[in-house]
Structure formats: structure tokens, C-alpha cells
Amino acid sequence: MNGALTVTSADNPLVSDYRQLGDGAARRKIEGNEFFISEGWMSIERLCDSQHHFRSALLSPSRVKRFQPFLDRPELQGVPVYVAERDVMHDIVGFDLPRGVLVSADRRPLATVDELAATGNRLIVLDGLGDDESVGAIARVARAFGIDGMVLSPTCTDPYHRRTVRVSMGEILQMRVAQPSPQEWLHFLDTLHSHGFDSWAMSRSDTADSVWDLATPERLAIVLGAENSGVAPETLAAATRRVTIPIDPSASSLNVGHAAAITFAALARDPRR
């Protein structure tokens, strides 16, 4: 590949963006609020369409040829491309990545809850989801069903986490995301309600309304909690309605990503049926 630079040492400062990818604490220090890592062909394709600015790419030799067409895109003009053999790649990222396709890109500022409420009609709110892959899966299905934006609680995972981006297939990079501060989180539902939103807190309560029996409000925020703890009590109390997905009593629960997909599908169903 013309212009690609072969990296022969993990100590090379040119690849410092990619170090210790498996160490969450180290990555928070390395990335800060400055940049993030995306991996895999689909995620990079979506990144090209997301208006994020590329910083560099790091490839295994076997991936150079397939990456070449990306360099014809205007988003990657002038972006440095580094190539590292398997052992060097291992030393850089901290684990074996024999067919590595990685890019780093600048983070964009997150939206505010007020901005999302002013410009969208369908929002998903995630309360306390610390699992990167769950957040990524929900972002992917939210995009598929036309959800306008995501609000993440302060205790949720970083929306730019590498696994979150990967599992979302890059779709989270196409979504407007807000992650309010702990103080702002105390009043986020008040903000949504002031913009005319109804809020449905998803619950397993026997007294909650079935998602299949409800008409969809014009402006709606769906609130999902972590699988073990659910939506926080104070958020449940502040929501305009508690809603459940009826399941077979012999089943214990639904995966939160599956619950999100079922809920979004229920909202999108033809009301004439």
C-alpha cells in the first residue's frame, strides 16, 4: 500500500493510540475525551459516514489489500496507515489480533438531553447499563427501528468504548447520544416531560401495562435498566408509565437487548392490525 508505514516496535509513538486495548482503566487514561478506537470492516464503514475525523489506521499485513479502497474515500485522505506483523501487533494492543483492522478517530462532543428532546420524537434511555456489548446491541437495534437518540445514565458504559462500537456495528456512531452528569441525571425526565415526552419505564411488575396494549405517544422515551437491578426506583417513580413485555411465566427474564428490540418493534407495528 502506497504511503503505509511498517511499524517494527510497540514502543513506536506513532501507534500510541492503540496500546493496551484490553485494559479498560488504561484505555480511559489513554483516550480521555479525545479519541476512540473502532475495529472491523462494518464499523469502519459506518465511521466513514458519521463525520468523525480519522486519526490513523493500524493493520495486519493480511488486511492491507482489502483496506486499500477505504483510502479512496475523502474521509481518509491523508490519514496515516501503519502496518504491524502479528507479534508486534500483539505487543501494541496487549493480546493476539492476527487479522487486525483498527482505526482511531476523534470523539465528537456528546449531545445534551435538552438537545435530543428538542429535535427527536423517539428516545431510548439506558439506566445503569455497564455492559459494553449490551449498549452496543441496543444502539444497533435502535438505529434499525428509527430511534432518534440515546440517553445514557452517568453509570452507563462509555458510548465510545471499543466493544460498544464493535457490537453496534458502528451504528452508535450514527446516533446522537447524551450522557448527563450525575446532577443533570436527577432531572432528566423533567427535561423530557417539559418537551412533551411521555416516558415508559420498562418493568417486570405484574401491575405494569403490556407493551402490546398501548397506543404509542407522539413523543416517547423508553427507559431500560440493567438486567439485574432494573430501572432505578426514583426513575420508575418519575416516569409517566410502567410498561412490561409479557413472557411465559416459566421463563425467568429477557436479555435487555432482546427487550429493547421487542419494545421497538411494538412501537413500530401497524396500529391498524
Q: Is residue 43 part of a domain?
A: yes
- Pairing relation of β-strands 149-152 and 122-127? parallel
* CATH code, domain carrying 220: 3.40.1280.10
Is there a contact between 230 and 256 (Cβ–Cβ < 8 Å)?
A: no
Q: Which of 24-38, 216-230, 257-271 has the lowest mean pLDDT?
A: 257-271
pLDDT tier at 1, thresholds 50, 70, 90: low
Residue 273: the pLDDT is 41
Residue 250: the pLDDT is 84
Is residue 101 scored above 80 in pLDDT? yes
Are residues 77 and 14 both part of a single domain? yes
**pLDDT tens across 56-65, in order?**
999 999 999 9
**pLDDT tens across 162-175, in order?**
999 999 999 999 99
Residue 229: the pLDDT is 84
Are residues 15 and 94 both part of a single domain? yes
Predicted TM-score (pTM) of this structure: 0.91
Query: What are the C-alpha distances in Å from 158 to residues 108, 148, 149?
Result: 13, 19, 15
**Encoded amino acid at 56, one letter:** S
Domains identified in the chain, total number: 2
* CATH code, domain carrying 51: 3.30.1330.30
Q: Is residue 273 part of a domain?
A: no
The residue segments making up the domain with residue 260 are 113-268
Average pLDDT over residues 204-233: 92
Cα–Cα distance for residue pair 81/103, rounded to 1 Å: 9
Are residues 26 and 120 both part of a single domain? no
Are residues 167 and 50 both part of a single domain? no
Q: Which of 27-36, 131-140, 252-261 has the lowest mean pLDDT?
A: 252-261
Are residues 202 and 263 both part of a single domain? yes
Are residues 97 and 122 both part of a single domain? no
Is residue 84 scored above 90 in pLDDT? yes
